[in-house]
Amino acid sequence: MNRIYGASLVLAFALAPLASAHAGGDPAAGQTKAVVCAACHGVDGNSINPIWPKLAGQHEAYLAKQIRAFRDGVRVDPTMAPMVATLTEEDIDDIAAYFASQKPK
């Protein structure tokens, strides 16, 4: 292995977590799928009640990770669990992409 190839390999591994963390959902598709979220989190992800998080402008990868955590029971919340129970992987990525694309207020 030459030094340049070796360095590239190290760089690739260093960047891998960032790359894989980006879910890459479709914000437009997510907007439709996120209708059910609006009651608590607001249509644009700016929730009015201070006990519910603002989702607008949050990192897409973080949002997707949390939705999966609620779905899979890793993060336990009696309100969120049923809301996300039937979401597919694509649904989750799209919803996360939609709220990440919104402007926090």
Contacts to a second copy by CB under 8 A: 17-18, 21-22, 47, 49-54, 57-62, 65, 74-76, 104
Of 69, 61, 59, give the one whose Cα is nearest residue 102: 59
Smaller CB distance to a second copy: residue 6 or 16? Answer: 16
Smaller CB distance to a second copy: residue 20 or 86? Answer: 20
Could you tell me the smallest distance in angstroms from the CB atom of residue 7 to a second copy? 22
Q: How many residues does the chain have?
A: 105
Of 65, 66, 53, 69, give the one whose Cα is nearest residue 102: 53
